[in-house]
Structure formats: C-alpha cells, structure tokens
Amino acid sequence: MLTQIEHAKLMMLRAAWEKDRGREYVAAASFAKLFAGELSHRVVNEALQIHGGYGFMDEYPISRMYRDQKINEIGEGTNEVQRLILARLMGL
C-alpha cells in the first residue's frame, strides 16, 4: 500500500512541476487525481479488512478514514470527470 501511495505522490509532484514550468499540466493532474482517488478506495478497503470487525468501531482511526475516503474521492473531481478530461485530451 505504501508503494502505491508514494507513486500517487510522485504523480502529483510531476503535475505540479509541469505547471511550475509553464508547461501543459492538465493531463498529468488528471492522471494523478484519478489514480489517487481509486487508490484511496483500494487502500482504505484493504486496511479495513486488516482490522476486521474492529475497523467499523469509532475507537479506531480506520473507521473515520473509511468514511472520509469517499468525500476525498468526490471532492477533487470525480473519477468519471477525470476520465472524461483524459479522453478529451486524447481526442476521443
């Protein structure tokens, strides 16, 4: 999970690097948002599985992470919107 999280961070940093240099960054940002949104879902679900039934109890941080993940996924532009942006950039 940590390897994938680091990959998402690098994708975000690449998009920021492109923007800082005045280059086209929309595709890199959309790739990063899409990957991170889907990754957050996978990682939180896997972490919940590791915790088992305790993962649903409010005493454990994973309970809140599980609920918050969906808001983060939607708040930064839905995965569907990111796919539409990428398809448009590819000329589809």
Residues annotated as catalytic are 76
Contact status, residue 62 vs residue 51, Cβ threshold 8 Å: yes
Question: CA Rg, the chain, in Å?
Answer: 15
End-to-end Cα, the chain, rounded Å: 32
Burial class of 39 by CB neighbour count within 10 A (0 to 12, 13 to 18, 19+): middle
Residue of 27, 32, 9, 19 lying closest to 92 (CA atoms): 27
